[in-house]
Amino acid sequence: MKRSLVTAVIVAMVVGALGIISHATGWFAAIDMPLKNWLQKLNGPGHDLSKIWQYNLIVLLGLGTAWITLTSAGRHGTAILVLAIIVELLGLAWVCSLYHVFFAPLPAIITVALSYGAALAYLAFAGRKRGGIPLSLFNGKLSRNEIARLRSGEIEFDGSARAFETSVVVCDLANKYDLVDNDDLSVVTTASEKFTARAAELLRAAGAYLHAADGEGVVAVFGFPGALEDHAEKAVRAAFDLARAFAENASGGNGQNVTPGAHVGVSSGSMITAPTEEKQDIFVLGEPIELARRFCVANRFYGSKILIGPRTFELANNAIVARPIDFLSGVNAQERHEIYEPLAFTADAPSELVARRDSFWNGVVLYREQRWAEAYHEFQKARAPNNEEDAPLSLYLRRLEPLALHLMESSAS
């Protein structure tokens, strides 16, 4: 943002100076005078617009045109806007003549055109010089807005190997393995293609870098190529958006007319990124991708929709209401990662949901301490009203029921 503003100011100063000089020295008098005579013939004689107003307008138009061009994601839309400004300047000359004031539009029009061209030239030059990395590498992997921020220099990316603190989102079809058993293989491919395209679109729109999108799911990275302090919170928010977008259709069916649900895993940590030697792709390496994949798959066992790792929970804990689910082994057999299920954002969470989360959390703690009866009691308090489905809670209750029953029988005897 700051770099774009500085560049826009420089362009406006240089181009504005040219516009002011052209007006002061009468470079375009051969065009201005016939236009002035024609307007005076139509609307009567008048006086020239004050030079202060003329010159201020030239500088402001130069600054505004350069700023919009540098920060806009759509070049086509910017070009249309520039043409509209030129038409409006001609209209302004006509309106001023109605009040017997002559406004010379040509210096302002030249300023707008030169500012637009200079800003485009800067973007093209900056794109080629961004560490020798063609920004076309990010086409399809970043949203147009994020690419525009790269071009303008708001996101600094020099193309060197570098570590980023990131949060990785992995999402996949919730019922993918059920679809594989379908006799009609076109159902599987159609559902997978639709899911991948929609999930990729949502993640790019949320500001993520799309690392992969294929039959094995969609992998997106928050915090690259631009560093983000709130990457974990953004990743969890995107996970909620994905879960809502792919909520399972209650009508069921054979898969052809059913919107499949989504399983999402989120993991945070350090990632190493660098362009490949041929500069044809971005190389991404880090444990968060592998862990996010495992968390995504684990949803199938626990019946949840979203699972996040301990680092993500630590970073986003103040913004979300989440509950512990279980431990998963890490990349190494000695590692164990506690996984959490985010339930809602704190700002949107009703007190009743927070209370049930607390009871569930107490139940998990008591379960790990093998205090079966007390754990069973806490889990009962965590039940949702109206017998709403809660697969992780049901899993713990099924585990505890025989243990609690055995404990009660032992006490009775």
pLDDT, position 262:
92
- Residue 336 is given by DSSP the state E
Dist CA 222 CA 242 (whole Å): 15
Could you read off the pLDDT of 277-328 as tens digits, one per residue?
665 678 888 999 999 999 999 999 999 999 999 999 999 999 999 999 999 8
What is the structure's pLDDT at 253?
Answer: 42
Mean pLDDT rounded to a whole number for the chain: 81
**pLDDT (0 to 100) of residue 409:** 58
The pTM of the full predicted model, rounded to 2 decimals, is 0.69
Flag whether pLDDT at 209 surpasses 50. Answer: yes
Q: What pLDDT sits at residue 257?
A: 43
Q: Are 289 and 167 in contact (CB under 8 A)?
A: no
Q: SS3 of 143, please?
A: coil
Residue 251's pLDDT is: 37
The answer to whether the CB of 61 falls within 8 A of the CB of 108 is yes
207 in Cβ contact with 222 (< 8 Å): yes
**Residue 242: per-residue pLDDT:** 94
Whole-number percent of the chain with pLDDT over 70: 78
pLDDT given at position 346: 94
Entry field: residues in the chain:
413
Q: Which residues lie closer than 8 Å to 202 by C-beta, 6 or more apart?
A: 238, 241, 242, 245
CA dihedral 62, 65, 70, 72 (to 10 degrees): 170
Q: Higher-confidence residue: 302 or 108?
A: 302
Q: Please state, for a pLDDT cut of 90, what percent of the chain lies above it.
A: 38
Q: What is the mean pLDDT of residues 341-357?
A: 95
Backbone phi, psi, residue 37, to 5°: -65, -40
Query: Rounded to whole angstroms, how far apart are CA atoms 360 and 375?
Result: 9
The radius of gyration computed from the CA coordinates of the chain, to the nearest angstrom, equals 30
Q: Are 381 and 359 in contact (CB under 8 A)?
A: yes
Taking CA atoms, 211 is separated from 44, 137, 204, 284, in Å, by: 65, 11, 10, 8
pLDDT digits (tens, 9 = 90+) for 128-183: 545 445 667 788 899 988 887 777 677 877 777 889 999 999 999 887 777 666 65
Please report the pLDDT score of residue 102 as a whole number: 75
Confidence of residue 18 (pLDDT cuts 50, 70, 90): confident
Give the pLDDT score at 183. 57
Region 190-204 average pLDDT: 91
CA distance 142 to 207: 7
Please state the φ and ψ torsions of residue 272, each to the nearest 5 degrees: -105, 130
